[in-house]
Amino acid sequence: MTAPANFNGQLPTIDPDDTAMLLIDHQSGLFQTVGDMEMTRLRANAGALAKVASLANIPVITTASVPQGPNGPLIPEIHENAPHAQYVARTGQINAWDNPDFVEAVKATGKNTLIIAGTITSVCMAFPSISAVHEGYKVFAVIDASGTYSKMAQEITLARVVQAGVVPIDTGAVLSELQRTWNRDDAQEWAGAYSDVFPPYQLLIESYMKAQDVVKNNETLDSQR
């Protein structure tokens, strides 16, 4: 069935109270092989996911593929932005879901919904996503916080995971689905995360505040001095 799997008639959106986030293999070496999106955007998106997982109190599990080899270490901002994240070392398995410790850690969260991002998309994100669906999880795969070697590989993977019942999602949608409303005390911190994901937002804020300051301070336009 290619409808969102395991929702059983429920609305196919993220319920923050029943969700864990898996951030897989965001490593400095693997990032060098990414060709479907600008690496800086990928890096900012992955960091933003970690940040909002903290804001929304969502458990985070990380792992890496042989970080002692050419794949390189995890980018540091993942654990900096989500200090509560749990790192699970694997012993060579490419599909994180093949590692018993990893699956154990996921189960220990007690959550039924998974947000999954992983570099490279077609492997490190796709395999655990398909496996988790098969084991009954509701899965949201964050394509633009993953990264793969070509745009074509990304498009193929999108089609594959949708076919398997995974819900595809972009980073901006994850942020909004977790935040739900601007009517909350930590609204400013969420705004900061949006600036990571769509950088013009920072310009909007800068222009907005200056425009209001001009009124508040009765500033004269330079061209009218």
Contacts to its own copies from residues 143-162, by CB under 8 A:
143-144, 148-150, 152-160, 162
Token look-up 């005390």 returns: 185
State yes or no: residue 80 binds its own copies (CB under 8 A). Answer: no
Q: Which H helix or E strand runs over 174?
A: helix 171-179
Burial of residue 40 (CB within 10 Å: 0-12, 13-18, 19+) is: exposed
Q: Which is nearer to its own copies, 31 or 137 (CB)?
A: 31
Q: Which is nearer to its own copies, 108 or 203 (CB)?
A: 203
Whole-angstrom distance, CA of residue 76 vs CA of residue 82: 10
Q: Which is nearer to its own copies, 92 or 110 (CB)?
A: 92
Size of the site for its own copies (CB under 8 A): 106
Number of residues that this document lists for the chain = 225
Residue 27 in tokens = 């490593």
State yes or no: residue 163 binds its own copies (CB under 8 A). Answer: yes
Q: Which is nearer to its own copies, 143 or 193 (CB)?
A: 143
Stretch that binds its own copies, among 18-26, 50-58, 104-112, 179-187 (CB under 8 A): 179-187
| Nearest distance in Å: CB 6, its own copies | 13
DSSP code, position 168: E
Bridge partners of 24, per DSSP, are: 63, 118
CA atoms within 13 A of residue 164's CA, in its CB half-sphere: 24
Q: Which H helix or E strand runs over 99?
A: none
| Nearest distance in Å: CB 107, its own copies | 18
Whole-angstrom distance, CA of residue 81 vs CA of residue 49: 9
Whole-angstrom distance, CA of residue 101 vs CA of residue 149: 28
State yes or no: residue 8 binds its own copies (CB under 8 A). Answer: no
Stretch that binds its own copies, among 52-60, 102-110, 111-119, 124-132 (CB under 8 A): 124-132
Contacts to its own copies from residues 23-52, by CB under 8 A:
28-29, 31-33, 35-41, 43
State yes or no: residue 57 binds its own copies (CB under 8 A). Answer: no
| Nearest distance in Å: CB 83, its own copies | 19
Of 15, 79, 172, 192, which one interacts with its own copies (CB under 8 A)? 172
State yes or no: residue 119 binds its own copies (CB under 8 A). Answer: no
CA atoms within 13 A of residue 190's CA, in its CB half-sphere: 19
Sign of CA dihedral 144, 160, 21, 24: negative
Catalytic residue check, 179 = no
Contacts to its own copies from residues 99-118, by CB under 8 A:
none
User: Among all residues, which ones are annotated catalytic?
Assistant: 124
